[in-house]
Amino acid sequence: MTGDPLFDEMFGTDGVTRAAYAEFADWFGSEDPSRLRAKAREAEEAFRVTGITFNVYGDPDAGERLIPFDIIPRIIAAREWAKLSKGIEQRVRALNAFLHDIYHRQEIVRAGILPVEMIARNDAFLPEMIGVDPAGDIYTHIVGIDLVRTGPDQFYVLEDNARTPSGVSYMLENRETMLHTFPELFSRNRVQRVSRYPQSLHRSLSACAPKACDGTPTVAVLTPGIHNSAYYEHSFLADQMGAELVEGHDLRVVDGRVAMRTTRGYKPIDVIYRRVDDDYLDPLTFNRDSMLGVPGIFDVYRAGGITIANAPGTGVSDDKAIYSYMPEIVRFYTGEKAKLENVPTYRCSEPDALAYVLDNLSDLVVKEVHGSGGYGMLIGPTATKKDIAAFRKKLEAKPGNYIAQPTLSLSTVPIFAKKGLAPRHVDLRPFVLVSPNGIEITPGGLTRVALKKGSLVVNSSQGGGTKDTWVLEED
């Protein structure tokens, strides 16, 4: 996979502008570079004024940072998106079925497809969820599937995010910024809308209301508070949905329901879109020192008095060791071959795989099975000998904590650099809503871009930026 020529989504491998970018390329070629630079500064200022920032955990001196935004859109043809959507929907259905199974009969374990230790020794598995039936049997209400591309028709799933996927506010603000900065582009290109996402999210969550709901569901976003790195997104989504933004201290259990404090007393809530980790949801059931959750909320949840989105315990499906079994998981629950391929993955818990990984560290990407945000990983081809030696010791000490993958020839999309267009590696996180009414995939998603030349790490915490993602209408 590493020897293939790099595929640029605008210029292909031969330098010829691809069809999806034709209108954009004509427009860009006629623009004065000084005007574009001014517009780029204008867009950056819009992000600053709006307050689109994030915090970096573990860096007390960092404070809030502005997420870099690049004005060159990432453009996906309608045909490409249609194919991708089918694969995403299949995968999300399988994930939801898998979660229901492991918290009930565990048929996939009984069938010998998934080793029992993948569940029993998984820190994200919640025994408290065994036998619990969420409203509508939905576990994964909001899912983010991270994708990378290596060629015109080849996408791979890099990881699944079914716990608390973030980044949708950046998708929406990126589009709003582009519409404001370059309105003429949208008259020349028929781009599918993403602006309906907050309304779709509210509708989808409302459709998952519990049996205790009487009338129109009341939806709230539960945030850990202003010091959380994604607080901007929590408040943004609550505002856009017309939902309540609450913290744990705003809520209490009243008469078997979770209720929020109002000027007229406590009002029951039906659906909580929680952005608080499992451990901190309920100090009576999980971490007793938690100040972020609601005492007794889990008992109300088990009794069908409230819907928690995403369901507690969904983090099992985010595990990178579980990810390595996704082709088998998809086939087991859908009866079909996976339409979207995994990146080939070595499970370091297996002796043969570990031996191979240790012999080839300089060529592989090694990740913690519970890692996120670009932390706790080794990118062999760009690592120093010192980094590789240090990682080797970690791997030998706790091999079950890691998986390894070949370094893919990730596609590039141009960014607007000082000297014009310059290729940079990207990934894509489409956002998926799941309810008893069906699965809805927002056309586009969040494109993250590695702004450093040659870098494969796109996370904002590691110096990455974002782009507006266009999915074109069908001709």
Strand arrangement of the beta sheet that strand 346-347 belongs to:
346-347, 402-406, 364-368, 377-379
Q: What's the CATH number where 399 sits?
A: 3.30.1490.270
Instruction: Please determine, for residue 460, whether its predicted confidence score (pLDDT) is greater than 80.
Output: no
Q: How many domains would you assign to the chain? A: 2
What integer pLDDT is reported at residue 57 of this predicted model?
42
* Band of pLDDT at residue 459, cut at 50, 70 and 90: confident
Last residue in a domain, options 407, 442, 457: 407
Last residue in a domain, options 407, 425, 443: 407
| CA 72, chain centre distance (Å) | 22
Q: What pLDDT digit, counting tens, does each position of 287-304 carry?
A: 999 999 999 999 999 999
Of the candidates 471, 468, 472, which has an alpha carbon nearest to the alpha carbon of residue 72? 468
In the chain, pLDDT over 90 holds for what percent of residues?
81
Give the type of residue at 437: N
Task: Tell whether 367 is covered by a domain.
Answer: yes
* Residue ranges with strand state E in 118-256: 142-151, 154-161, 219-222, 244-246, 251-254
Q: Is the pTM of this model over 0.85?
A: yes
SS3 24: helix
Instruction: Please determine, for residue 164, whether its predicted confidence score (pLDDT) is greater than 90.
Output: no
Q: Are residues 295 and 220 part of one domain? A: yes
Task: Tell whether 191 is covered by a domain.
Answer: no
Write out the H or E segment, with its range, that includes residue 285.
none
3-state helix, strand, coil in the chain (%, to 5): 35, 25, 40
Q: Which two tokens stand for residue 297?
A: 């909320």
Give the type of residue at 305: G
> Per-residue pLDDT averaged across 44-52, rounded?
79
* Band of pLDDT at residue 371, cut at 50, 70 and 90: low
CB 196 within 8 A of CB 171: no
Task: Tell whether 171 is covered by a domain.
Answer: no
Q: What pLDDT digit, counting tens, does each position of 399-457 carry?
A: 988 999 998 889 999 999 988 999 999 999 999 999 999 999 999 999 999 998 888 87
Task: Tell whether 395 is covered by a domain.
Answer: yes
* Residue ranges with strand state E in 229-311: 244-246, 251-254, 257-262, 265-268, 271-274, 307-309
Using N-to-C axis directions, what is the helix angle for 231-241 and 168-181, rounded to 10°?
70
Q: Are residues 371 and 297 part of one domain? A: no
Q: Are residues 366 and 301 part of one domain? A: no
CB 271 within 8 A of CB 219: yes
Last residue in a domain, options 386, 407, 428: 407
Of the candidates 340, 345, 314, which has an alpha carbon nearest to the alpha carbon of residue 95? 314
Please tell me the distance from the alpha carbon of residue 439 to that of residue 458, in angstroms, as a whole number. 27
What integer pLDDT is reported at residue 187 of this predicted model?
94
| Residue range(s) defining the domain that contains residue 391 | 345-407
- What is the DSSP-derived secondary structure letter of residue 135? G
Q: Are residues 231 and 296 part of one domain? A: yes
Task: Tell whether 2 is covered by a domain.
Answer: no
- What is the DSSP-derived secondary structure letter of residue 220? E
- Which range among 61-65, 104-108, 228-232 has the greatest average pLDDT? 104-108
Q: What's the CATH number where 242 sits?
A: 3.40.50.11290
Q: Are residues 359 and 280 part of one domain? A: no
Task: Tell whether 361 is covered by a domain.
Answer: yes
Sequence-distant (≥ 6) Cβ neighbours of residue 350 within 8 angstroms: none
Q: Which two tokens stand for residue 400?
A: 């079950």
Task: Tell whether 353 is covered by a domain.
Answer: yes
| CA 251, chain centre distance (Å) | 28
What integer pLDDT is reported at residue 160 of this predicted model?
95
Task: Tell whether 7 is covered by a domain.
Answer: no
Q: Are residues 379 and 293 part of one domain? A: no
What integer pLDDT is reported at residue 376 of this predicted model?
73
Write out the H or E segment, with its range, that includes residue 77.
none
Instruction: Please determine, for residue 136, whether its predicted confidence score (pLDDT) is greater than 60.
Output: yes
Please tell me the distance from the alpha carbon of residue 175 to that of residue 173, in angstroms, as a whole number. 5
Q: What count of other Cβ atoms lies within 10 Å of the Cβ of residue 196?
A: 12
In the chain, pLDDT over 70 holds for what percent of residues?
94
What integer pLDDT is reported at residue 283 of this predicted model?
97
CB 25 within 8 A of CB 442: no
SS3 248: helix
Q: What pLDDT digit, counting tens, does each position of 187-241 carry?
A: 999 999 999 999 999 999 999 999 999 999 999 999 999 988 889 899 999 999 9
